[in-house]
Structure 1
Amino acid sequence: MLFNRVNTNPLILMVKNQRFFCKHCESTFMAKTPIVDKECFISNDVKRSIVLNLCETKSMDLIAREHCVSPTSVARILRLTEDRRRKNYLPRILSIDEFKSVNTVDASMSVNLTDLEGSHIFDILVDRRQRYLFEYFNSYPLKVRKRVEYVTTDMYRPYIDLAKKVFPNANIVVDKFHIVQLLTRELNKLRINEMKKLNTRSKEYKILKRYWKIPLTKNWELNSIYFYKNRHFKNMTSSVDILDYMLGKFPNLKEAYDFYQNFLLSISNNDVAMLEDDVILKS
């Protein structure tokens, strides 16, 4: 059993658990002590000391070294201090998204739960694995989970499957940021595929490689007034001229570009009707 340090050395107490036998029910049980939890090596005094240190500006590695435990144990003790709030409220519009966490937690990615209606963080979970999230949301009564009307998330499949299980009345909405990110990535892949078909010394190849940002830029933000010299063109050119050259040379890129820009425009204007337009859906 690990206690706090004496001077600079860790104090370890060797304890033998006494086993008792009940003659009435013919069962056995172990003696209990408030000093340490059942099947735990770290004493409660050490845990309380770690919690006090977590309130200060110290790294988990430093706290672990000071208490002669591992950083994983510090992260586990931190999880035990989570707010045991009354489980009677969940946001009507709940956002689930992950972010890169510190290396000392059990999982490298943590989860940010946001109340989009109130524009504030509802909770932060240290683990994004489905099993942990399922246990967390199931700690709320079913009637509370039924009040959640919308769940926004990225295209991470475990989040979508989780939301369907724990929020029976909620509509699953993919975050528009991640949709734009996916379309941007696919448009860039298409540009690269077109480059692979060309000779690396050709003019078209060099233009697609040098000006890769232009097709990804919102077309209403491109500069059509400022002209500058370009080694690949004889005359002075603008960003719009370079874009027109690209789209004229590569029809596949133009078709994908038009769909991408229409989507960006509808998102910027919050125009749902434009998203549902048959022309956009068929393009």
Structure 2
Amino acid sequence: PKRHWLPEVLALDDFKAGRFATSGMSMALMNGETHELIDVIESRTNTCLRNYFYRYEYAVRAKVKLIVVDLYQPYRSLIRDLFPNAAIVADRYHVVVQAYQALNQVRTQTMKALPSKDKLARALKRYWRLLVKDAAKLNWHDFKRRTGFGGAQLNEREVIDRLTATSDALSTAYGYYQQLLCALHFQSSEVLAELLKTKLTALPKPCQKAQRTLRNHREEIERSFEQPYNNGSLEGTNNVIKTIKRVAFGFRSFPNFRLRILLVAKSPYFNVKTAA
């Protein structure tokens, strides 16, 4: 790759690489504006990332204006050291994941607290996709016979109401998740601020962890409301990487693995020499 240039908007995301990395995770770099893959770094560890980016001159790194990345805390100090003029933009997908995982944990805890043959326990397992669906997209008009509710004819909103009524913790976690979706959908700093004011003691334990994480990254999340950039294309590339690994039944050499990824992604940032 070209060592004398970096884009003004740099997108970073890690992916499972297997035994190549001591942490089990490698790092993919993408141009945040053109969505072109730049390179793949063997490991996401602090030492490996520093050694990689120190190959670029300070003036090159200083031209990076924005870095789109997930909420993994160790990246913050690293980015501040390597890219002195870059502001961090939290990837919205990973913001939603915080509340999504918390809601699923509370749902699972509620389900396990009920008798195994309880109809509501089976309903919580069967209709989990409705719980994580945006409330604004729920179907209010079509009534269907719903398993687990005595054959009642219910629309999606009524199913949600009956599921959340099984537990105060589940109802609170569901409201927390939906409020975060609303803040991100409308890019509203006011809605986000209201959500982050919620006391930790008023939330189920899994949501408390999500609340602390979102509070720590509030500025980065609000910056994502102002910027059009996200890691959606990079997440798609990560799916391509999973396919490469599966089709090849694994790789024994990281350089070969890296080159295969760059070739499949048609990266314009490195040269390929062909035999005469």
Instruction: Give TM-score scaled by structure 1 length.
Output: 0.61
Deviates further, 234-243 or 109-118: 109-118
Give the whole-Å Cα distance in 2 for the aligned partners of 1:193 and 1:102. Answer: 31
**Deviation of residue 244 (structure 1)?**
0.8
Per the alignment, residue 251 of structure 1 pairs with 168
Per the alignment, residue 136 of structure 2 pairs with 220
**Deviation of residue 191 (structure 1)?**
0.8
RMSD: 2.4
Number of equivalenced pairs: 196
Poorly superposed stretches of 4+, deviation over 4 Å: 105-108
1:114 aligns with 2:30: yes
Per the alignment, residue 123 of structure 2 pairs with 207
Task: Give matches, 1:1-283, under 5 Å.
Answer: 83=1, 85-87=2-4, 89-101=5-17, 109-231=25-147, 232-276=149-193, 278=194, 280-283=195-198
Give the whole-Å Cα distance in 2 for the aligned partners of 1:270 and 1:206. Answer: 36
Q: RCO greater where, 1 or 2, for CA within 8 Å and sep 6 or more?
A: 2
Q: 1:106 to 1:202 in 2, by over 3 A?
A: closer
Local SS of the residue matching 1:249: coil
Alignment gaps of 5+ in structure 2: 199-276
Q: In terms of Rg, which structure is larger?
A: 1
Give the whole-Å Cα distance in 2 for the aligned partners of 1:218 and 1:172. Answer: 27
Q: Is the 8 A contact 1:219 1:261 kept in 2?
A: yes
Residue deviations 1:170-192 (CA, integer Å, cap 9, x gap): 22333211121221111000111
**Deviation of residue 102 (structure 1)?**
7.6
Q: Is the 8 A contact 1:153 1:160 kept in 2?
A: no
Percent of aligned pairs sharing the same letter:
30
Q: 1:86 to 1:164 in 2, by over 3 A?
A: closer
Instruction: Give TM-score scaled by structure 2 length.
Output: 0.63
Give the whole-Å Cα distance in 2 for the aligned partners of 1:121 and 1:267. Answer: 26
Higher helix proportion: 2
**Deviation of residue 97 (structure 1)?**
0.7
Give the whole-Å Cα distance in 1 for the aligned partners of 2:144 and 2:75. Answer: 48
Q: Is the 8 A contact 2:99 2:176 kept in 1?
A: no
Deviates further, 195-204 or 240-249: 195-204
Residue deviations 1:55-110 (CA, integer Å, cap 9, x gap): xxxxxxxxxxxxxxxxxxxxxxxxxxxx3x342x322221111234486x566643
Q: Is the 8 A contact 2:32 2:68 kept in 1?
A: no
